[in-house]
Amino acid sequence: MLTLSAKDAKYGFGRLIDLARAEPVMVAKHGRPVVVVMAVEEYERLKGFEIDRVDSDPSTTTKAK
């Protein structure tokens, strides 16, 4: 995963967007990773996995009254 400094991400926001469309990009502040920027499609795919995982977990289902 590519890492950019917060300063580079701020001043090169267009580049950050272009890079994040290809693969997630980690943004570091003071040398420590703080966020990951990713394409909407990748985010939606990950949210789908989360929803599928919750739906398949019997402990999270509620019984209808």
**Number of domains composing the chain:** 1
| Residue 65 falls inside a structural domain | no
44 vs 61, more confident: 44
**Given a cut of 60, is residue 4 above it in pLDDT?**
yes
The pLDDT, as a whole number, for residue 65 is: 44
Q: CB–CB of 20/1 below 8 Å?
A: no
Q: Are 45 and 24 in contact (CB under 8 A)?
A: no
Task: Work out the average pLDDT over 1-17.
Answer: 98
Task: Quote the DSSP letter at residue 19.
Answer: H
Model confidence over 10-60: pLDDT tens digits? Answer: 999 999 999 999 999 999 999 999 999 999 999 999 998 877 666 666 665
Domain limits for position 44: 2-58
In a domain, residue 49? The reply is yes
The span from the CA of 12 to the CA of 15, in Å, is 5
The beta-strand segments (E) located in 1-64 are 2-5, 25-29, 32-37
